[in-house]
């Protein structure tokens, strides 16, 4: 029987860059934060945000270090994104990263059955999409090296920090805001990035975890937690074309539970509710503790 090591104490940890995948002559690196000690430790494959077009494995360093200090291996990914590598390229990279982590679990100080997914903003969307469709042939198209064994992208849990859970809904909300009498600035940057990555509203709908559930598709529903700031309308908005009375967070939670999934929605008060700005990662200590407790509860032998 395997046991995950996750104690209340603070762990020293080490961080190093590891090449987990290569496309032609372009390596993709994962910054791996390993707690010191024998383990095995729970592990989270971490997917950064950036409107599917920006950022890298260093963007959420504060959270990765916080997880490692609490005894969780944090595997922070670089992956293809933006207009050069539109959907579903990044989804395929993240799917591969989960399988790679399972194949290399001993090196990572974990075990294949102790791995979850985590992401922030657009990364939260990608984490949930990969978790819900672990066997999708488009997403699982990149084979592991010969001799790696048989591994799929199924995970024990999903951690989402203010995810863009419905890209089409966010796009419609941005367009609605832009057409108003006093439009904010954020849609002027968000909409072109979504256009660059998704290429069409049809793709946004097809790759929307919320709309996947609404369509009744059969998907995996691992235990999940959604951490969300109040007043963060860039991520918890009202889809102008939805009949659901609330915002996208409770809408998704309702659908996920109806599909048989277990999910917790945790709101927190933001330092300030600047429209178009995500919460400050450096001030998210209490929310990190909730993530740790969630991982401790869900990643068990």
Nearest to 28 by CA among 57, 64, 52: 57
- Window from 67-76, 249-258, 263-272 with minimum mean pLDDT: 263-272
Average pLDDT in the 210-231 region? 97
Its domain, for residue 70, covers 14-298
CATH number at residue 274: 3.40.50.1820
Q: For residue 56, how many C-alpha atoms fall within 13 Å in the half-sphere facing its CB?
A: 6
The answer to whether residue 158 sits within a structural domain is: yes
The answer to whether residue 96 sits within a structural domain is: yes
* Chain-centroid distance, C-alpha 123: 4
Residue with tokens 């869900």: 298
Total number of domains in the chain: 1
pLDDT 10s digits, 165-206? 999 999 999 999 999 999 999 999 999 999 999 999 999 999
Residue 2: pLDDT over 50: no
DSSP-based three-state secondary structure for 22: strand
Confidence of residue 112 (pLDDT cuts 50, 70, 90): very high
The answer to whether residue 236 sits within a structural domain is: yes
Residue 100: pLDDT over 50: yes
What pLDDT, on a 0 to 100 scale, did the predictor assign at position 199?
98
What pLDDT, on a 0 to 100 scale, did the predictor assign at position 278?
61
CA–CA–CA angle 171, 173, 174 (5° rounding) = 65
Q: Are 174 and 129 in contact (CB under 8 A)?
A: no
Nearest to 194 by CA among 164, 218, 162, 224: 164
The answer to whether residue 261 sits within a structural domain is: yes
The answer to whether residue 274 sits within a structural domain is: yes
CA–CA–CA angle 274, 276, 282 (5° rounding) = 65
Stated pTM of the model: 0.94
The answer to whether residue 9 sits within a structural domain is: no
pLDDT 10s digits, 7-35? 457 899 999 999 999 999 999 999 999 99
The answer to whether residue 7 sits within a structural domain is: no
DSSP string, 115-175: EEEEEETHHHHHHHHHHH-TT-TTTT-SPPPTTS-------S-EEEES----HHHHHHHHH
Confidence of residue 1 (pLDDT cuts 50, 70, 90): very low
The answer to whether residue 6 sits within a structural domain is: no
Confidence of residue 286 (pLDDT cuts 50, 70, 90): confident
């Amino acid at each position: 029987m395997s046991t995950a090591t996750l104690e209340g104490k603070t762990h020293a940890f080490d961080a190093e860059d590891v090449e987990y995948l290569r496309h032609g002559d372009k390596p993709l690196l994962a910054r791996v934060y390993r707690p010191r000690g024998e383990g095995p430790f729970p592990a989270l494959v971490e997917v950064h945000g950036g409107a599917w077009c920006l950022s890298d494995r260093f963007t959420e360093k504060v959270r990765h270090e916080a997880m490692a200090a609490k005894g969780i291996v944090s595997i922070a990914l670089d992956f293809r994104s933006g207009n050069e590598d539109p959907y579903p390229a990044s989804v395929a990279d993240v799917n591969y990263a989960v399988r790679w982590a399972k194949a290399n679990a001993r090196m990572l100080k974990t075990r294949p059955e102790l791995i979850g997914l985590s992401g922030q903003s657009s990364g939260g969307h990608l984490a949930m999409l990969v978790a819900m469709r672990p066997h999708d042939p488009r997403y699982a198209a990149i084979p592991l090296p010969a001799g790696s064994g048989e591994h799929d992208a199924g995970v024990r849990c999903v951690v989402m920090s203010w995810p863009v859970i419905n890209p089409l809904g966010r796009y419609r909300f941005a367009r609605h805001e832009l057409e108003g009498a006093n439009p904010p600035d954020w849609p002027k940057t968000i909409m072109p990035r979504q256009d660059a990555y998704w290429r069409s509203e049809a793709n946004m709908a097809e790759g929307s975890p919320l709309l996947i559930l609404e369509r009744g598709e059969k998907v995996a529903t691992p235990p999940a937690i959604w951490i969300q700031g109040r007043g963060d309308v860039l991520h918890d908005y009202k889809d102008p074309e939805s009949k659901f009375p609330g915002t996208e967070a409770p809408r998704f939670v309702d659908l996920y539970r109806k599909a048989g999934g277990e999910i917790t929605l945790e709101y927190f008060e933001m330092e300030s509710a600047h429209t178009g700005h995500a919460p400050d990662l450096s001030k998210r200590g209490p929310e990190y503790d909730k993530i740790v407790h969630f991982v401790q509860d869900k990643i068990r032998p």
